[in-house]
Amino acid sequence: MSRQAPSHDVLRFLDERLLTNRPLRKALRYVFPDHWSFMLGEVALYAFIVLVATGVFLALFFEPGLDKQTYAGPYAPLAGREVSAAYASTMAISFEVPGGLLIRQTHHWAADVFVVAIVLHMVRVFFTGAFRKPRELNYLIGVTMLALAVFEGFLGYSLVDDLLSGMGLAIAYGVAMSIPLVGGDLAHLVWDGEFPGSAVIESRLYIAHILLLPAALATLIGAHLAMIVRQRHTQFRGPLRAEDNVVGTPAWPGYALRSTGLLLIVAAILVALGGLVQINPIWEWGPYEPWQGTNGAQPDWYLGWLIGALRLMPPVEVVIGGRTVLPNPFFGGVLFPSVVFGVLYAWPWLEQRWLTRDLRRHDLLDRPRDNARRTAAGAAFFAWVVTVFAAGAADRAFLSTGVSYTTQVWVFRVAVFVLPAVVYVVARRVARELALSARALPRAGGRG
């Protein structure tokens, strides 16, 4: 054949078999809008990649079993203790496998940062109105991925069968039991009997954590990205930018290099944390036994809103006709997260119906000030969740500040109603003021 540049041969080879030239041409020229906040979703994606890579390593050493053995590793305070295979293998990863602790801690930090990135990304999407038509479906996928990421993280650290995560699993059982009508049977189905369940619960957690949820997440990520490509990314208003075009950096070479660089930098930050900042030192907690507990037990940060809700709720149980229809954990553990996610899921339509009456398609983004009521509602909602979240750390705050725990609980119970209302009013005012002042001054290519 022809003797031109080698890339020509490869391209010709692929095109004649797979019809790649046209899609490649489009892909290489694909335009990425430039704003820095659009990369938050990428950060989440790259954290996910780090999770999978480190997870594969861990899975090659972790033993998902609950059968007891006598600890025989190098950590002296645990000598002679009865621990499960899951705990013992995690101790071995941490103390005996070269690089094991680095990978394990990188994996755990990646999980924490994964959810941080998703939340920041969701906040950006919300306050810029990127969820509006035609992107409602993609937004729903995003909210689902947030829920899955939180659940996946909980499953992951619960696999280790240490005292801290075991207490968390007991609470999960209590919350499952509190679901009206079906809770008892549901919890006993999942745990194969009464908590702590039979040995099979560890297998179920493991399979969910390494196969079922990662597969679901990967599929949803694929759909999420495919939809973005199909619809093209949104962009802020600015020179040359209109509803029917996209202005930014082409995929090749600029954005590909930048994005790959970001992947490596995210990985670098996570590995740096994994090597330099200790996380989940299970040897300090010891193995789990259902009759033991430790003070200061907390879930990982992204479940702090639930422990706050469970602690804030007054001792109400709804008993009708001799049956406990609504046990107490239902309110904090089932109702509260259902309301939060319900509002998140419904928001595009709630906004259409009650706030904007706007059914048009939007590809240009709002700045937060451009829709004061949405901004205020979002800020108030966020303040509500954050208040409940903060209540979960009230015991630690008591130790640091001396303000009594009971007093704090009452203050938080009031704040949960008052603070969102105040934040709503203030945020709406600020947004309106900013919008007015922006209109008064000549626009200098404002890009949000």
Partner 1 sequence: MVRARGVAVAALACLAAWAPPPASAQPAAQGRVLFLEGCATCHGDDARGLPGQAPSLHGVGARAADFYLSTGRMPLAEPRTTPVRAPPQYMAAERRALVDYVASLGGPGIPDVTPQRGSLAVGFQQFTSHCAGCHQAVAQGGVVPDDVAPSLQQATPRQIAEAVRVGPHVMPAFPESQIDRHELDSIVRYVLSTRSPPDRGGWGLGNLGPIPEGMVAWLLAGAALLIVLRLLGERSRP
Partner 2 sequence: MSLPRRLAEAVVVLALIARGRRGRRREEEPVDEGGPEEGRPFLREVGARPGAERAVAALLFASALASVAFVVVFFTGADTQALGIALAAALGLLGAALAVAAAAVVPREQAIERRPRLAHPEAEPPVRRRLATAGEGVSRRRLLGTAGLAAGATLTGALVVPAASLGPAVGNSIAETPWRRGRRLVDEDGRPLLAADVPATSFLTAFPEGADPRELGAPVIVVREDPARLRLPRARRGWAPQGILAYSKICTHAGCALALYRRPLYEPVSQPPGIACPCHYSVFDPRTGGTVLAGPAGRPLPQLPLAVGPDGELRAAGGFSGPIGPSWWGVRET
CA-CA distance, 94 to 92, in Å (whole number)?
Answer: 5
Choice between 92 and 170, CB closer to partner 2? 170
Q: Write the CB contacts of 331 (distance below 8 Å, at least 6 apart in sequence).
A: 309, 313, 316
Asked if 149 is part of the footprint of partner 1 (rule: CB under 8 A), the reply reads no
Q: How many alpha carbons lie under 13 Å from residue 385 in its C-beta half-sphere?
A: 20
Query: Cβ distance 81 to 70 under 8 Å?
Result: yes
Q: Which of 41, 91, 30 is nearest to 284 (CA)?
A: 91
Q: How many residues bind partner 1 (CB under 8 A)?
A: 72
Asked if 276 is part of the footprint of partner 1 (rule: CB under 8 A), the reply reads yes
Choice between 201 and 380, CB closer to partner 2? 201
Choice between 49 and 247, CB closer to partner 1? 247
Q: Strand locations in 113-191, DSSP E?
A: none
* Mode of pairing for the β-strands spanning 82-84 and 318-320: unpaired
- Show contacts with partner 1 in window 179-238 (CB under 8 A): none
Asked if 158 is part of the footprint of partner 1 (rule: CB under 8 A), the reply reads no
Options 16, 67, 192, 433; binder of partner 2; rule CB under 8 A: 192
For the purposes of burial, counting CB atoms within 10 Å of the CB of 39, is it exposed (0-12), middle (13-18) or buried (19 or more)? buried
For the purposes of burial, counting CB atoms within 10 Å of the CB of 212, is it exposed (0-12), middle (13-18) or buried (19 or more)? middle
Residue-wise over 6-27: b if at least 16 C-beta within 10 A, else e?
eeeeeeeeeeeeeebeeeeeee
Choosing among partner 2, partner 1, none, which partner's interface includes residue 358 (Cβ < 5 to 8 Å by kind)? none
- Show contacts with partner 2 in window 77-96 (CB under 8 A): none
Phi then psi for residue 76, to 5 deg, are: -60, -45
Per-residue x/- marks for partner 1, 112-131, CB under 8 A?
xx--xx--x-----------
* Mode of pairing for the β-strands spanning 82-84 and 31-32: unpaired
Asked if 98 is part of the footprint of partner 1 (rule: CB under 8 A), the reply reads no
- Show contacts with partner 1 in window 278-337 (CB under 8 A): 278-281, 283-286, 292-302, 304
Choosing among partner 2, partner 1, none, which partner's interface includes residue 79 (Cβ < 5 to 8 Å by kind)? partner 1
- Show contacts with partner 2 in window 109-138 (CB under 8 A): 134
Asked if 257 is part of the footprint of partner 2 (rule: CB under 8 A), the reply reads yes
Asked if 336 is part of the footprint of partner 2 (rule: CB under 8 A), the reply reads no
Choosing among partner 1, partner 2, none, which partner's interface includes residue 284 (Cβ < 5 to 8 Å by kind)? partner 1
Options 60, 240, 359, 441; binder of partner 1; rule CB under 8 A: 240
Choosing among partner 1, partner 2, none, which partner's interface includes residue 342 (Cβ < 5 to 8 Å by kind)? none
Query: Cβ distance 94 to 104 under 8 Å?
Result: yes
Asked if 306 is part of the footprint of partner 2 (rule: CB under 8 A), the reply reads no
Asked if 265 is part of the footprint of partner 1 (rule: CB under 8 A), the reply reads yes
Asked if 81 is part of the footprint of partner 1 (rule: CB under 8 A), the reply reads yes
Query: Cβ distance 234 to 130 under 8 Å?
Result: yes
Closest approach, Cβ 308 to partner 2, in A, equals 10
